[in-house]
Structure 1
């Protein structure tokens, strides 16, 4: 039997009362199960954390001793129990170490996607699927009007730009994917990375994910017009809003983060509308619960079929 209150939202985040743990809490809690290392899912200061090895490495790099008091590292498809809830990590394809969280309790199963994507990505584990009674999905781009373009075709836009490029990107996950894509599909470009991105790259390399050619940014290098692509985090990108002699682009699935209508680089690490429908097809849930976005379009789409509950 599906329990309507198996998880619910409180002031600290997504709470499972049957295991007395939080999933991706917004504030520090005694016990957290964390899907991936992006800051909106992985806060510092939790007492005890269950996560993948990569997620732990990124959190410890970013937060140091404040990351968590205890890390329990769990491999893919290795079930563990918190009280009477059995939990299994399944690859979400969002970034290195990102996990869907399968929870099984009293004969029913609940699959929390966290952030996920279906697009191929050489810098992380590919998405996997598992059947579940309830699919608890992110709905960041759960709108029929939002369909992500092919990332390869987007990155090929760089080939037509013959001056240096300042490419804004989130430091973790997106930057590493961009380095790999540029090396494969715009190989004449010389990639420079901001110093904040370099230690994250080293974790990828240590875990066996070779990104391709890149080097640390140097001011003297950018003075030469050699088709450099300088990848920078958002705060640096925003601080150079009036930069001259370079083409400014920001890689994101969000339209409001594009520089303008002409200079766009739509590369998203989230599921679009069709991807969410594919997730429902693969998981075959009896119920669909939505988080991290707006579930109204999904509720309308499945009104004559699957029960849809909007949690946020």
Structure 2
């Protein structure tokens, strides 16, 4: 790898608007509208509307257009994975991140140094999105949502099979975009006797997945009569807000699919299915990317800092 002194210490800085690259005058996943926004994926905490120029993958643009309608962006500059483009002097390319359909890591090359921003990413297999690909980089700018040595996500397939042990109807809470579509595919593959009903707000995102060529399997739009008539083997997938508002729902087993322990506490079954890297996956990523420095964001990087000291420079951006 290149000598660390050639790395620009403030190539990416954390601002109130988001991660900013002064050399290229653009933001990564800005929290407020900007002129040039490089968007890693379409989740709302990474992709807001009203940016003037949005650089992203095709699925990300389609999801944003659905969510924000005419306020999605001034224009989308859609880039295929691995296609190199220049933004104000910085060479950029998107690398599959494995987080959800269209998710991308952002590889930025400037003056011979490679900076890799992960956005959100996962290493586990997922039939509903592009699998993660790794590239070596001098600086790895990684999310640290679950950067805790005590956090280890169980095997997602073993988790989803827990639903086979429940004969009663299930209210399954899940994020509407990405997580729900992964769950639909997994339930169809591993819990074939279950009948999937979707909350109406989730259906458009699911249809977009299918339009983009992802085969999820069977599902239906929620019908109250259907669920009342059938007292077993129904799974009603709802977004978090609906799940939380129906905390007194009767005749259903409450389940929420997440990697967060705090969101599992009041549920009758714990379903630990995460779309983020855990501690071991972050360590593995660092081993494969072989960076000279690691910069952390979207969480706490203090434990990574302690773990690698003094072998590797770990800098906290937030």
How would you bin the TM-score normalised by the shorter chain? over 0.9
2:33–2:51 contact (8 Å) kept in structure 1: yes
- Report the CA distance between 1:261 and its aligned residue: 6.9
Q: Alignment partner for residue 286 of structure 1, among 283, 292, 298?
A: 292
Q: Does the C-alpha gap of structure 1 residues 259 and 162 become closer, same or farther in structure 2, counting only changes over 3 Å?
A: farther
Instruction: State the partner residue of 1:274.
Output: 280
1:133–1:285 contact (8 Å) kept in structure 2: yes
| Count of residues paired in the alignment | 312
Unaligned runs of 5+ in 1: none
Map 1:1-312; keep pairs closer than 5 Å: 1-223=6-228, 224-260=230-266, 263-312=269-318
Q: Does the C-alpha gap of structure 1 residues 81 and 13 become closer, same or farther in structure 2, counting only changes over 3 Å?
A: same
2:253–2:268 contact (8 Å) kept in structure 1: no
Runs of 4+ off more than 2 Å: 259-262
User: What is the SS of the residue equivalent to 1:117?
Assistant: coil
1:250–1:259 contact (8 Å) kept in structure 2: no
Deviation readout 1:214-245 (Å, 9 max, x if unpaired): 11100101102131000000111111100000
Deviation readout 1:256-289 (Å, 9 max, x if unpaired): 1114375200000000000000110110000000
Distance 1:240 1:260 in 2: 13
- Report the CA distance between 1:60 and its aligned residue: 0.4
CA RMSD across the alignment: 0.8
Distance 2:15 2:246 in 1: 39
Distance 1:130 1:71 in 2: 26
Unaligned runs of 5+ in 2: 1-5
1:248–1:259 contact (8 Å) kept in structure 2: no
Q: Does the C-alpha gap of structure 1 residues 145 and 261 become closer, same or farther in structure 2, counting only changes over 3 Å?
A: farther
User: What is the SS of the residue equivalent to 2:209?
Assistant: helix
- Report the CA distance between 1:10 and its aligned residue: 1.1
2:256–2:267 contact (8 Å) kept in structure 1: no
User: What is the SS of the residue equivalent to 2:161?
Assistant: helix
Deviation readout 1:11-55 (Å, 9 max, x if unpaired): 111000000000000111111000000000001110110000000
1:90–1:99 contact (8 Å) kept in structure 2: yes
